[in-house]
Amino acid sequence: MDQPTTCSHISAIIQVTIGDEYVCDECIKNGGTWVHLRTCQTCGITLCCDASPYKHMTKHYHRSQHPVIASAEPGERWLWCYPDEVFTEY
């Protein structure tokens, strides 16, 4: 069965938010480093991806249950929904 290209969480997003600064807010606090950045579409925080040592965005999802993130990488235009495991480009 093909995976859906969207879900109710992603469909609810009217405008994609990307952080103003290209930093992981949590890595900055603890002196960590990141590989790629993601922006939470619920609260707007930008944190590091799962390829980064601390996986701050996934930890944020588990604490907050904010469902959708966007890539904050220049040139990337995609969203990921944690609960539905749906990826879509925009």
Q: Tens digit of pLDDT per residue, the chain (90 long)?
A: 455 578 999 999 999 999 889 999 999 999 999 999 999 999 999 999 999 999 999 999 999 999 999 999 999 999 999 999 999 999
Predicted structure pTM score: 0.92
Do residues 80 and 69 touch, judged by C-beta distance below 8 A? yes
Q: Long-range contacts for 26-35 (Cβ within 8 Å, ≥24 apart)?
A: 26/54, 26/56, 27/52, 27/54, 27/56, 30/54
Query: According to the model, what pLDDT value does residue 71 have?
Result: 98
Query: According to the model, what pLDDT value does residue 3 have?
Result: 55
